[in-house]
Amino acid sequence: MNRVAALAFVCCALVAPLGASAQQQDAQTAAAPAAPSRTFNDPAMSFTAPDDFTPIPMQQHDPVNFEQPTVVAAYVKNPGRQDMVSISLSMDSFQSGVDGWEMNAENNLRTQTDGVFIKKTQTTLPNGMPAYWLEVTVGSGFDQMKSYEYVWSDGVRGISLSIIGRYGAISESAAKKALANVSAVAYPKYRY
């Protein structure tokens, strides 16, 4: 699922329950499984969203078998508001290094929509895993969106952890702070 579709999915998932009556909401709450966690863990990575982000329920996915980029975790802050910001964690099968995955991620962004500007910096995740930091601007005027993301490869998958909002809803320093609680290692190949 691409980033634009992921943002639309998050928006729709949050707006749909707003029209439900109090009785319907109570019935849904009583029948609903436990709320999703703000923490995503798998054998090669961990991410915990900030306290002010709400997790969006996502279908479980095999940690290594992907046919296309797939959003495996999503979180939202200020749903339905002009300053709404979302975080998404997406993965795809990719067995090469971080440089190849960054180029692949950049090409995917450019093919999704016109008017994409990408500024990239080679960096590491907070625990030292090699990564790229991307600053992505899409669109123009009132429809302009801003995204910041870490992209890395663990030898089995290409991974993108991104935060996106309307231009002005999030700064680079706020984005780095929101995505700071991430760590990753090479995927333990004996596990798949």
Torsion sign, CA atoms 166, 172, 178, 181:
positive
Residue 29 to residue 103: CA distance in whole angstroms: 43
What are the tens digits of pLDDT across the range 82-140?
899 999 999 999 998 999 989 888 888 888 777 889 999 999 999 999 999 999 999 87
Q: How many CB atoms lie within 10 A of CB 24?
A: 11
pLDDT, residue 7, reads: 42
**Calculated CA dihedral for residues 52, 13, 42, 88, nearest 10 degrees:** -70
Residue 106 to residue 136: CA distance in whole angstroms: 9
pLDDT, residue 110, reads: 82
Cβ atoms of 69 and 1 within 8 Å: the answer is: yes
Domain residue ranges of the chain, discontinuous segments joined by + = 3-191
pLDDT, residue 14, reads: 39
pLDDT, residue 34, reads: 54
pLDDT, residue 28, reads: 44
> Does residue 190 carry a pLDDT above 80?
no
Cβ atoms of 152 and 98 within 8 Å: the answer is: yes
pLDDT, residue 192, reads: 56
pLDDT, residue 8, reads: 39
3-state SS string over the chain? CCHHHHHHHHHHHHHHHHHCCHHHHHHHHHHCCCCCCCEEEECCEEEECCCCCEEECCCCCCCCCCCCCEEEEEEEECCCCCCCEEEEEEEEECCCCHHHHHHHHHHHHHHHCCCEEEEEEEEECCCCCEEEEEEEEECCHHHCEEEEEEEEECCCEEEEEEEEEECCCCCHHHHHHHCCCEEECCCCHHHC
pLDDT, residue 63, reads: 77
pLDDT, residue 54, reads: 95
> Regarding the domain delimited by 3-191, which CATH topology (the fold level of the hierarchy) does it fall under?
Protein Transport Mog1p; Chain A (3.40.1000)
What are the tens digits of pLDDT across the range 28-79?
444 445 557 899 999 999 999 999 999 999 888 887 888 888 999 999 999 9
pLDDT, residue 64, reads: 80
